[in-house]
């Protein structure tokens, strides 16, 4: 089995679903003692957004343990703030995640 062969990408599929790190203009710590990377350095990819979105999901489920994963995803996407380019797109998905908004909704759904 190929590494990613279990998920064929049909024409028109838009990824990512959300982005936790929008890229240019935000600084990151460099490796070692080099301080920060220049704001002009463009960073992107699932390795930046995945852990942050997973953390938001964990926070949501810690406040609402019965919340199904599919519902957590819906909430994360619905509370994301759209960032350029407008609408769901292949660079920023549905937008920049909002942990506070997502956890607040999850908390309100507790039985």
Question: What would the pLDDT profile of 65-108 be if each residue is shown by its tens digit?
Answer: 999 999 999 999 999 988 888 888 777 777 888 999 999 999 99
Write out the two tokens for 60.
């949501």
pLDDT for 6: 47
In a domain, 44, yes or no: yes
2 part of a folded domain: no
In degrees and rounded to multiples of 5, residue 96 shows phi and psi of -85, 125
Is the pLDDT at 1 greater than 50? The verdict is no
What value does the mean pLDDT of the chain take? 76
pTM for the predicted model, two decimal places = 0.65
Asked if residue 3 is part of any domain, the answer here is: no
pLDDT tops 70 at residue 56: yes
**Does some domain include residue 4?**
no
Long-range contacts from 43-46, C-beta under 8 angstroms, 24+ separation: 44/91, 46/16
Domain boundaries, position 110: 11-111
CA distance 58 to 89: 25
Count of domains observed in the chain: 1
Tell me how far apart the alpha carbons of residues 42 and 97 are, in angstroms, rounded to a whole number: 19
């Amino acid at each position: 089995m190929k590494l990613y062969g279990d998920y064929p990408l049909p024409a028109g599929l838009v990824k990512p679903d959300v982005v936790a790190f929008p890229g240019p203009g935000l600084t990151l710590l460099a490796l070692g003692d080099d301080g920060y990377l220049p704001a002009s350095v463009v960073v992107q990819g699932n390795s930046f957004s995945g852990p942050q979105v997973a953390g938001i999901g964990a926070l949501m489920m810690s406040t609402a343990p019965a919340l199904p994963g599919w519902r957590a995803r819906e909430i994360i996407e619905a509370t994301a703030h759209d960032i350029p380019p407008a609408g769901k797109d292949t660079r920023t998905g549905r937008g920049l995640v909002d942990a506070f908004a997502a956890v607040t909704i999850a908390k309100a759904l507790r039985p």
